[in-house]
């Protein structure tokens, strides 16, 4: 049985923003939540299906793989049995989305007893825009970039305390980073799990914070990071460098660096996906009589035969002279579009020759030739 497209499941377009995806998921989660539909297996299945779609489309990496390869691109994230509630990484979103309605803290059963844990001390992700030329993207390139990020504090080695003996288990939550509270809702009494107010979810308290980092366990430094850009990457593609973002609070895991590619404008090439477009000016005589011309490509110059009678807007295709396919074999083409150059200044002799040609062509202009005009239209704008 074929799985439904995740975008169709949430009822959003493939170009939907993160906010649109979250709003669509919120609507479905509210509609099909099991507490609103007791003993309704169909609603429960729709609730789970919406969660699976949201799990993929709310994660930039998973969404990119899904857009490129479909369900097969994210199958390894869910194991052989497919999506399970233990695969869902947005329990926090559940409480944010539905907390006001249900009083919060009701998702332990859905997730096999999992509840929102201690406040995350993971470091933040960093986004870096990297400008690259078309040639660099065609060949692949290694770049070393300088970034400012949090690194573990030198003074306390990331602990956050002036004295290691001053780090203690929080007496309020007993190291769990969270406390439970009973709350009433439309559906009865539920347990509301909240962040521990004493340790702010860290599970530990500090007697005397490190003066160098004010107890955060991290400090800002400028560091260098190497990134390898594969051939065929393009504007808007990104690479995730895991664990190279901001250091976590008090020894927490580091975030990631997202390197987003910005393709710089080229002097005379234009890129359309993996094809490269080059506009080639020809003189009237070259277009009318034909010629052999040199055309620049990403891999060097090639000779192109211009047949006699070449019209304005004619497109020549150079197979395999475009951009390499990203993470695949082969490459696109180069499209050479012809424009006929019109001189703006003429010598006396040139005027005489053009006037003679004009007399020779009198009555032969294609103004009323619909076939000719249609060909020109197709060359310029496509079929």
User: Over pLDDT 90: what percentage of the chain?
Assistant: 10
Residue 314: which CATH number?
A: 2.60.260.20
* pLDDT at residue 8, as a whole number: 93
**Residue 46 within any structural domain of the chain:** yes
Q: What is the pLDDT of residue 85?
A: 46
Domain C-terminal end among 63, 82, 116 = 116
What total of structural domains would you count in the chain?
2
What is the pLDDT averaged over residues 33-51?
82
| Distance (Å, whole) CA 47 – CA 52 | 9
Kindly tell me the burial class for residue 162, based on how many C-beta atoms sit within 10 Å of its own C-beta (0-12, 13-18, 19 or more).
middle
**Is residue 155 a part of any domain in this protein?**
no
pLDDT at res. 120: 61
pLDDT in tens, 314-341: 899 999 888 888 866 788 898 999 988 8
Domain boundary among 116, 147, 181: 116
Within 13 Å and on the Cβ side, how many CA atoms surround 249?
18
**Region 343-372: what's the mean pLDDT?**
69
Give per-residue pLDDT as tens, 115-138.
Answer: 444 446 788 888 888 999 898 888
Residue 74 lies in a domain: yes
Segment 185-204, tens digit of pLDDT: 544 556 677 888 888 777 88
pLDDT value at residue 13: 93
Q: What is the pLDDT of residue 105?
A: 36
Inside any domain, residue 345: yes
Q: Is residue 30 part of a domain?
A: yes
Domain boundary among 67, 88, 116: 116
Does the residue 309 lie in any domain? yes
Mean per-residue pLDDT, 133-162: 88
pTM exceeds 0.85, yes or no: no
Read off the pLDDT of residues 6-28 as tens digits, 9 standing for 90 and up: 999 999 999 999 889 999 998 89
Q: Examine residue 92 and state whether it is found in any structural domain, yes or no.
A: yes
The pLDDT tens digits for 257-307 are 888 888 889 888 888 888 889 998 888 888 888 889 899 988 889 999 889
State the pLDDT confidence band at 104, using cuts at 50, 70 and 90: very low
Going from the C-alpha of 128 to that of each of 29, 175, 238, 371, the distances in angstroms are: 34, 36, 9, 52
Task: Note whether residue 219 is domain-resident.
Answer: no
For residue range 208-262, list pLDDT tens digits in order: 888 888 888 898 999 999 988 888 888 888 888 888 899 988 888 888 888 888 8
- The confidence score (pLDDT) of residue 110 equals 40
Question: Domain range for residue 320?
Answer: 269-381
CATH number of the domain within which 100 lies:
1.10.287.110
């Amino acid at each position: 049985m074929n799985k439904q497209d995740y975008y169709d499941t949430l009822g959003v377009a493939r170009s939907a923003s993160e906010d649109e995806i979250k709003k669509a998921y919120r609507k479905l989660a509210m509609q099909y939540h099991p507490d609103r539909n007791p003993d309704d297996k169909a609603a429960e299945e729709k609730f789970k299906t919406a969660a699976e779609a949201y799990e993929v489309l709310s994660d930039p990496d998973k969404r990119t793989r899904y857009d490129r390869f479909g369900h097969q691109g994210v199958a390894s994230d869910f194991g052989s049995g497919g999506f399970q509630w233990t695969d869902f990484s947005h329990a926090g979103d559940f409480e944010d989305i539905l907390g006001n309605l249900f009083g919060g803290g009701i998702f332990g059963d859905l997730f096999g007893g999992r509840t929102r844990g201690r406040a995350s001390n993971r470091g933040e992700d960093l986004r870096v825009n990297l400008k690259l030329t078309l040639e660099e993207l065609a060949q692949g390139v290694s770049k070393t970039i300088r970034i400012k990020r949090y690194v573990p504090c030198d003074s306390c080695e990331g602990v956050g305390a002036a004295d290691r003996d001053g780090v203690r288990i929080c007496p309020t939550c007993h190291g769990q980073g969270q406390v439970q509270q009973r709350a009433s809702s439309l559906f009865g009494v539920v347990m509301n799990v909240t962040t521990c107010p004493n340790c702010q979810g860290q599970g530990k308290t500090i007697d005397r914070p490190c003066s160098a980092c004010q107890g955060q366990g991290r400090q800002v430094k400028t560091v260098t990071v190497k990134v390898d850009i594969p051939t065929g990457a393009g504007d808007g593609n990104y690479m995730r460098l895991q664990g190279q973002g901001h250091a976590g609070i008090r020894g927490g895991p580091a975030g990631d660096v997202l390197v987003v590619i910005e393709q710089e404008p080229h002097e005379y090439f234009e890129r359309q996906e993996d094809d490269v477009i080059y506009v080639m000016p020809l003189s009237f005589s070259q277009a009318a009589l034909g010629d052999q011309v040199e055309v620049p490509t990403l891999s060097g110059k090639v000779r192109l035969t211009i047949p006699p009678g070449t019209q304005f807007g004619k497109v020549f295709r150079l197979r395999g002279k475009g951009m390499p396919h990203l993470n695949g074999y082969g490459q696109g083409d180069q499209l050479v579009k012809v424009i006929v150059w019109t001189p703006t200044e003429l010598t006396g002799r040139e005027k005489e020759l053009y006037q003679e040609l004009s007399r020779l062509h009198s009555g032969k202009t294609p103004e009323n030739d619909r076939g000719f005009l249609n060909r020109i239209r197709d060359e310029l704008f496509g079929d």
